[in-house]
Structure 1
Amino acid sequence: MNRTEQPAPATPAHACFTLRFSSTPRGARLARRLCGERLDSWGVPYGSDDHDVLSLLVSELAANAVTHGHVAGRDFRVHLLAHAAPGTPSLTVRVEVTDTRGDALPEPAAPAADSAAGPARTGGRGLLLVEALADRWGCAPRPDGPGKTVWAEYTVARYGPPTTRGTGSR
């Protein structure tokens, strides 16, 4: 009998994760969840501040792709890239979200000056969060077709070995 096993996740020294998602709120939610699982497997544990920040970056960029980069029948792509400098405990994670609409490049909106749109406003703050939380962020035209790639980088000061779950017995 042949047994096929999934390979272990790549070491965070150079690891990447890429998937396409439907350009819907469900696709954005799935992107955040799957990226969260991958971050945990790379040693950025669930519940840590670093995991929360990276999950929020994925969430905001994916939501923007769905809201502002949506083209009917086209998906968006999420690419996570993690790299660690040899001999250091830090891990830099780059989050890239690519959509197929390149007619307007994103810029963070200035906070609203008038009180009617200020605190009660529920949208338009995503890139302000990205700018506040990421070490660096930017956008570029999509190299392999129409659209754009919006990216953010965040450095995790310390990350641990990949976690293992479900290894205990009852």
Structure 2
Amino acid sequence: MRVLIVLSLLFSLSACATTESKTPQSNHSAIAIELGGLDTQQANTAIFQALLKQGYLVESVKDSGVAVQFGKHQFLLETQLDKTGFNRILVNRFYAVHPKVQNSDQLYILISSLNQQLNFAKFVVRQKGTVVQLQTAASFNLSIELEEIRKFLLWTSDGIEHVANGLPKELGQVIKPIPVMKPKQPI
């Protein structure tokens, strides 16, 4: 019965709504991050430094990318650079799955329904059903403006909130966000 309730709510979901976000606001001058000719590590460093300079809470994640706090969400940004110029920043959010629904039919039905109904990201079951990954990508050529990244993160955050608001509250007890940033130690 719960599966039917979840599915019926998922089918009623539609495109993402735009809402305000309490994140660093961009200044009016465009800040471009030049990534042409860089390798992945250099590109990650450039993105890290640009976000940090604009007041974002960021952390470098070894061999992966840049973790960024955006509103109440933590994202892992990964650059994928291509010699032909089709470059992307992958935006990831990870969720732990409660043992009682890990690798279950209900989990796969939920993920399949999300992928069929939503167009802002793809959802993937990882690590034998213990983790759900949300992933979307922003494409660019040789550079990307910081404002584009901010707007893309806002759009992704809004999409996550839209999904969360449409799901039964008990689902929040079985699928929980995984932090990608280390907890900060008090001074």
TM-score, L = length of structure 2: 0.31
Which structure carries more strand by proportion? Answer: 2
Of structures 1 and 2, the one with the larger relative CO (CA 8 A, separation 6+) is: 2
TM-score, L = length of structure 1: 0.33
